[in-house]
Structure 1
């Protein structure tokens, strides 16, 4: 890889990281490429060298976030015993939420955007995660793998809400009776 190629790859990563932060903080519709450029400490026209539109930048940011989840889950699946699988997948997701909170917020926001390309990338992300988890649960011999996958995904969504709204009590295992 040449020095210029390395610089371009690094700049692309910087732009995506800045976009994730800006989109997560103020929302896709309020965000501008000028704000992303300012966060990345580059000129706005330089963004268009890599991404022709703001939507293309969002799509790439979402792909990055889904890839991170899939890679973390694959790592767990290939390194833990069957009896620890679900627990370790949950822990992997919790670590992603802690380390990449803006990506989680970005995904949550993207669920409400009705542009076809964004809906498609979100559908693909959820389908890939669902398939990966259900296949892992089947391989591990977990009873009712489809039902357990749905519960696992629902718990992940509840984790997202808990984190976004600063309501850790939503995730408490010891709910008091009302």
Structure 2
């Protein structure tokens, strides 16, 4: 492994630790010193990759948004099963990258101006992509269906975050399958 590979691996470790800490403690109670300690590096090393806590948070969100977009764009299903299959891809993401995905779904509540603006842009992109997939599949009222699909994702995230699975019976049904 080259030093560059080691650094990229460390950067991923920092992002993983940050996602976990942000999800557990929230934006304001998470510190870059805490992230550094959980990875076993110094705080200046974290700042080598991310100049501020906000830029670290945004990097965690960016990675998660990319996972969501990739999952939704690579789902292969017949039109009548597209929404269901995309929903399953989303719940699988929660299973494999829970902290990141929940942060994405709750980032709109972070009052930092840049975080809110970034979240608004990314959710709009997700909505556009989901709408386009639904239109291509011939789903009637694709725009409305995409909004409902995203709303279901927000409900899933809320039920996960609050540990209230009965808020979202749809999610429970797919976890059992």
Query: TM-score, with normalisation over the residues of structure 2?
Result: 0.91
Q: Partner of 2:142 in structure 1?
A: 145
Unaligned runs of 5+ in 2: 171-177
Unaligned runs of 5+ in 1: 174-178
1:21-170 mapped onto 2 (5 Å cutoff): 21-76=20-75, 79-170=76-167
SS class of match (2:30):
coil
SS class of match (1:114):
coil
Number of equivalenced pairs: 170
Deviation of residue 130 (structure 1)? 0.3
Q: How much is the aligned-residue C-alpha RMSD, in angstroms?
A: 1.3
Deviates more, 1:137-146 or 1:2-11: 2-11
Instruction: Report which of the two has the higher share of helix.
Output: 2
Measured against aligned partners, the alpha-carbon deviations of 1:83-131 in whole angstroms (never above 9, x if no partner) come to: 1110100000111112211113322442122222111220122011101
SS class of match (1:23):
helix
In terms of Rg, which structure is larger? 1
SS class of match (2:41):
coil
Q: Is the 8 A contact 1:27 1:109 kept in 2?
A: no
Q: Distance in 2 between matches of 1:109 and 1:80?
A: 28
Q: Distance in 2 between matches of 1:43 and 1:139?
A: 49
Structure 1 stretches of 4+ moved >3 Å: none
Deviation of residue 157 (structure 1)? 0.8
Q: Distance in 1 between matches of 2:120 and 2:130?
A: 15
Query: TM-score, with normalisation over the residues of structure 1?
Result: 0.90
Q: Is the 8 A contact 2:65 2:122 kept in 1?
A: yes
Q: Distance in 2 between matches of 1:138 and 1:109?
A: 27
Q: Distance in 1 between matches of 2:163 and 2:110?
A: 23
